[in-house]
Amino acid sequence: MVVIPCYNAARTLPTLLERLSPMFSRDQIVCVDDGSTDDTQRVISEFGVCGVYHTVNQGKGQSLRDGYEFSLSRGASIALTMDSDLQHSPDDIQKFLEASRRADLLIGSRRQPNVFFNSRMPLARQVSNRLTSSMLSHLLRQPILDSQCGFRLVSRRCLETVLPLCRERRYMFETEFLIHAAARGFAIDFVNIATIYNGEKSYINALPETLNFLKLVLREIV
């Protein structure tokens, strides 16, 4: 099942859903509207995909949690998560599906081989991502190429075990999920994906989120 957390995504969500429609049926897509104040809910309704709605904004982590739980309730064997802002290309989905047998948690990697800085990604995001990925690689004792990417595929077995352990409700949820999955021996791997930035407004502030990451690591690992 495809899980799409949405917040004020009315401008970009139609394009994403149109591109997903040849690959998935409407009941295989769930959009979680996290208290949007634009026409996101109307778009979800018009496309006829599954919808989960928050009356107020609760954070990306809660949206993912609700989307995962919805997927489990529908009997999904895997859950593929994508952002709603078109920064994840549906063209890369096949890579996840082909690699799904080799890992319980697959994460998209925007790191280009033999390239230290990716000219398509904002510098602040690169620095934050490199810092957090390097720290997690050391602490989890396995390569973590892109700790912040929201383009992921998770097995049902991993979801059922890890989801009840997570407490985060906002952006640190994905990192917390990764930490718990690694600690319980689930296979983690990465899939090379395109780096796309369209000038969309980011709801992540790199410095505070990096500090939140450090707090999470201290709480969960140290």
- Which pTM was predicted? 0.86
Domain with residue 176: its CATH number is 3.90.550.10
- Only one residue has tokens 């047998």, namely 101
**Between the CA of residue 138 and those of 127, 143, 180, what are the distances in Å?**
17, 8, 15
Q: Indicate whether 137 pLDDT > 90.
A: no
CA angle 66, 68, 73 (to 5 degrees): 95
pLDDT, mean of residues 77-106: 96
Whole-number Å distance between alpha carbons of 97 and 78:
9
In the predicted model, what is the mean pLDDT of the chain?
88
| pLDDT tens readout for residues 37-91 | 999 999 999 999 999 999 999 999 999 999 999 999 999 999 999 999 999 999 9
Burial (CB count <10 Å: 0-12, 13-18, 19+), residue 104: buried
**Between the CA of residue 81 and those of 88, 211, 212, what are the distances in Å?**
10, 25, 22
Q: Indicate whether 158 pLDDT > 80.
A: yes
What are the structure tokens assigned to 143, written together? 């390569």
**How many separate domains does the chain show?**
1
Whole-number Å distance between alpha carbons of 181 and 105:
8
Rounded to an integer, what is the distance from CA 173 to the centroid of its chain? Answer: 9
Range of the domain at 97: 2-220
Bridge partners (DSSP) of residue 53 are: 33
Q: Which run of H or E residues covers position 163?
A: none
How many secondary structure helices (H) and strands (E) does the chain include?
8, 7
Q: For residue 22, give the DSSP letter.
A: T
What are the structure tokens assigned to 182, written together? 């690694």
